């Protein structure tokens, strides 16, 4: 599902104009991204959490050159679905 499809679905469900829904959706995404950049997790009850995962430094192999390289420690954004969301997915099967 694309952003445009989400905007269409929300506009249809709420009766709000697509332009308004799109600006609210974009502002929501920017707020989530801003919090993650500041290393603040975002919790959406019943949906899940947007969190930062820390990856430790590790050694990796370049098999074409037969060398070992070091991948430095880094942080990555991640999404962890809520238990209710996972349960709802399991019911669909």
pLDDT (tens digit per residue) in 38-73: 999 999 999 999 999 999 999 999 888 889 999 999
Q: What does DSSP say about strands 58-62 and 48-55: parallel, antiparallel, or unpaired?
A: unpaired
Residues 6+ apart with CB under 8 A from 62: 68, 69
pLDDT band at 75 (very low <50, low <70, confident <90, very high): very high
Domain housing 21:
1-38
Burial class (CB in 10 A: 0-12, 13-18, 19+), 72: exposed
Q: Residue 50's domain is classified under what CATH number?
A: 4.10.520.10
Q: What is the pLDDT of residue 92?
A: 80
Query: Residues 88, 46: one domain?
Result: yes
Query: Residues 3, 34: one domain?
Result: yes
């Amino acid at each position: 599902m694309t952003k445009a499809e989400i905007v269409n679905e929300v506009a249809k469900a709420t009766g709000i104009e697509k332009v308004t829904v799109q600006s609210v959706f974009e502002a929501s995404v920017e707020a989530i991204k801003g919090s993650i950049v500041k290393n603040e997790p975002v919790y959406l009850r019943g949906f899940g959490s947007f969190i930062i995962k820390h990856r430790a430094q590790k050694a990796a192999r370049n098999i074409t050159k037969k060398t070992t390289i070091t991948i430095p420690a880094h942080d990555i954004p991640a999404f962890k679905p809520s238990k209710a969301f996972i349960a709802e997915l399991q019911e669909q099967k």
